[in-house]
Amino acid sequence: MTLQGYVDRVSETLDRCAEPAVLVGHSMGGIVISQTAEQRPDRVSCLVYLCAFLLPNGQCLLQWAEPDKDALVLPNLILSEDKTSCTLKAEAIRQAFYGDRSRQEVEALENLLGPQATAPFATPVRLSPEGFGRIPRVYIECTQDRAISLGIQRGMCAASGCDQIYTLNASHSPFLSMPREVTDLLLRASQVKRAA
């Protein structure tokens, strides 16, 4: 799996849509929606980053994840023998991804997690003002996030620029702990226009 493979899959779906869509990226999905918007700017009406990686042109996910000393993901990764995929140590899953969920809920969610391809982590995004740069960007930051710390989330917003920033007092998976609030913010985000 590559970043371009993810982008191609999202682009196929966009190409079947009758009108431009709001793309929402969670976590690593942020790099996917950025690169997709670059390649299909006419098919995207807004980009929403849900505690996600929002990278400047030419940078890769690892450039922001490695210096994040408050995050629990990189220190707890288990690489496959060939280093093409990784998983997270079981004892770190709850704190990293589901800090505001009960232990019983997390046990049920753990079965949904699988190996993650590592190639996208080191692939720089290639973005331009004419593509990605012309699409409104909204960021939903999560104050209890231990996968991407709040400081890194805010640093990425400052480096890349956002038209609107919302804050949730939630962990890395607010769609589980605060579904109504996330839904409300997504509906509001869909109305955001590009700042002049």
pLDDT digit string, tens, across residues 109-148: 888 888 999 999 999 999 999 999 999 999 999 999 999 9
Model pTM above 0.85: yes
Looking only at the bridges linking them, the beta strands covering 85-88 and 77-79 are antiparallel
For residue 183, the tally of other CB atoms under 10 A from its CB is 11
- Extended beta strands in the chain, E state: 21-27, 44-52, 77-79, 85-88, 116-117, 137-142, 164-168
What local confidence, expressed as pLDDT, does residue 159 receive?
Answer: 96
In the chain, the number of structural domains is 1
Q: Domain of 58?
A: 3-189
Residue 194 in this model has a pLDDT that exceeds 80: no
The one-letter code for the residue type at 164 is Q
Mean pLDDT over 45-60 rounds to 97
What local confidence, expressed as pLDDT, does residue 196 receive?
Answer: 52
Q: Is residue 123 part of a domain?
A: yes
Looking at every residue in the chain, the average pLDDT score rounds to 94
Return the CATH number at 92. Answer: 3.40.50.1820
Selection from 116, 117, 82 nearest residue 96 by Cα: 116
With a pLDDT cut of 90, the percent of the chain lying above it is 87
Q: Is residue 196 part of a domain?
A: no
